[in-house]
Homo-oligomer: A and B are copies of this chain.
Amino acid sequence: MGISERREREKAEREQRIVGAARMLAEQDGWASVTIRRLAQEIEYSQPVLYAHFENRDAIVGAVALEGFGELAPTLRKSALKGATSRQALEDVATAYLEFAFERPAVYEAMFILPSGLRFAKSDTPHVLRETFGAMMAVVEPLCTDVEIATEAFWATLHGLAELERHGRIRSSHRKERMRHIVDMFAGRHLR
């Protein structure tokens, strides 16, 4: 019967509206202003309805984070293709990563800082998470011996840059210079 199917479709739509509203509010006024009540108001349902979709507030953050990974992974993949040299590919991916972090700070926060219930580097890690790591690994791979170690280091550096700059700890005015310095190091300017 098509009735239950329609119901499921409607429920999925509503869920998407919740995630969308959370993302919009977070991007607009920060995650602190994303409350269950506010979201309920936004989708025009009462608060308890939200708990039929998500176990708790963290799970909503997690849903936004997952959306974010779904966008970041292909973005990085594409950036990796343009560059002629492997050094250029590395720089392009790094730049794309930081651009993502600065343009969608709230989503980035959900992905990497806030408690979201997402599990990394575990057996049940969602595909998009692995895919994001894989995209970074792909550009690091031709430049080193231990790929995983190097990728973790590369990622950590990018994350640190994004976070310290977002919090005003380092000078936004020197983003480019820092990037060159770092890419030079990772690309192993010394080896070629």
Contact = CB atoms under 8 A, between A and B. Distances in A.
Interface stretch (A40-48, A76-84, A171-179): A171-179
A170 B112 CA distance: 12
A138 interface: no
Interface residues of A, number: 37
A6 interface: no
Contacts of A149: 174, 177-178, 181
B168 A153 contact: no
Contacts of A182: 153, 157
A84 to B, nearest CB: 23
Interface stretch (A7-15, A21-29, A49-57, A183-191): A183-191
B155 A160 contact: yes
A104 B11 CA distance: 44
Contact of A152 (B113, B171, B185, B189): B171
Nearest to A186: B185
Contacts of A171: 121, 152
Given A168-B121, A190-B190, A156 B178 contact: yes
Contact of A153 (B153, B157, B188): B157
A101 to B, nearest CB: 12
B113 A170 contact: no
Contacts of A150: 181
A156 B157 contact: yes
A159 interface: yes
A169 B120 contact: yes
A158 interface: yes
A163 interface: yes
Contacts of A163: 112-113, 156, 159-160, 163
A144 B178 CA distance: 13
Contacts of A170: 121, 152, 155-156
